[in-house]
Structure 1
Amino acid sequence: MSKNIILTHQEINHKIKRIAYQIYETFVDNEEVVLAGIAPNGYVFAEKIAAELKTISTLKVSLCEVQVDKQKPESAIHTSLTKEEYSNKGLILVDDVLNSGTALIYAVRHFLDVPLKKFKTAVLVDRNHKKYPVKADFKGISLSTSLLEHVHVVFDENDSYAYLN
């Protein structure tokens, strides 16, 4: 199977900017938001959104790295911020690809143990093969693919892209 580029570096940058504006519009009444990125790529995507948010808004942006074992998602989830650090704040859970929804739904469950002002999700690529009732509030692109196809996102310093193989 060959690589089919579905998002170029320029298109990903455009999606990041658009998602940042959508987040700002949604959280305009908040002083602070937490971007919780599912490692590894979701966290990189969250960093890029945070950088854009800082240029377009006065929101204080905190980053949180979320460790989910994608092979055993029911096992303990670890975050780089303590529960007290994101309690009573607006939180956006970020991942690069929403595939089956497994990683996202287990991460959502983890954050529901703490009171939050508002809780949203953001993904770069939303596929339509979900096993769980989870949706992306902010998404770069929706893509219908076969179950045999896989979406990969590459975040390099000067060349990011998403491809289907």
Structure 2
Amino acid sequence: MASDNLILTAEIARKKLQRMAFEIIENNIGENEIILAGIKDSGLIIANIIKAFLQDVFKGKISVIEIDIDKKDPKKISLSGSKNFDDVVVIVTDDVANSGRTLLYALKPFMEFYPKKIQVLVLVERSHKEFPVAPDYVGMSVATATDEKIIVETNGTEILGAKLV
């Protein structure tokens, strides 16, 4: 990843994800099941990385599902596979929290059930909330101008880093 405007290296991103995995364990002691619901692409990569960190320590069942949100019509949301989300912990994962809109829509499919908890994890949080979604787990908070963007770059199953553009 080019170093122009780099705010997060692959190594630091990995350490932040590992720290957040430990926070998940601390906040979910005694739970039997955690479902990591990754928003398509980067959020799903993050969910799988978190699962790998959790597997060695968390005693319950850990599942990963994908949330696919149609950007042109965000009311159209699909989940990979059907599942009953009653009485489980659901953690929605994404790369960057901008306005909160995507995260808010991502919560919708779980509202048809009675999950024990719904939590949100993001690698990078910006301070431009328009919707009332506050992540429970944040790798890094960045104050940005409204016209700036944060891009998390990936390669296959890895996070390469994040940059401000």
Partner residue in 2 for 1:95:
94
TM-score normalised by structure 1 residue count: 0.92
Q: Deviations over 1:50-75 (max 9, x none)?
A: 1110122223110010001123212x
Say how many residue pairs are matched: 162
Partner residue in 1 for 2:77:
77
Partner residue in 2 for 1:27:
28
Question: What's the offset of the Cα at 1:103?
Answer: 0.8
Q: CA, structure 1 residues 112+151, in 2 after alignment: closer, same or farther (shift >3 Å)?
A: same
Partner residue in 1 for 2:56:
55
* Cα distance in structure 2, aligned partners of 1:130 and 1:81: 31
Q: Which runs of 5+ in 2 are unaligned?
A: none
Residue aligned with 1:53, SS:
helix
Would the aligned equivalents of 1:5 and 1:162 in 2 still touch at CA under 8 Å?
A: yes
Question: What's the offset of the Cα at 1:32?
Answer: 1.1
* Cα distance in structure 2, aligned partners of 1:81 and 1:87: 15
Partner residue in 2 for 1:107:
106
Q: Quote the sequence identity (%).
A: 36
1:1-165 maps to which residues of 2 (within 5 A)? 3-74=4-75, 76-84=76-84, 86-156=85-155, 160-165=160-165
Which of 150-159 and 35-44 deviates more? 150-159
How well do the aligned residues superpose, as a CA RMSD in angstroms? 1.5
* Cα distance in structure 2, aligned partners of 1:158 and 1:32: 25
Which of 120-129 and 149-158 deviates more? 149-158
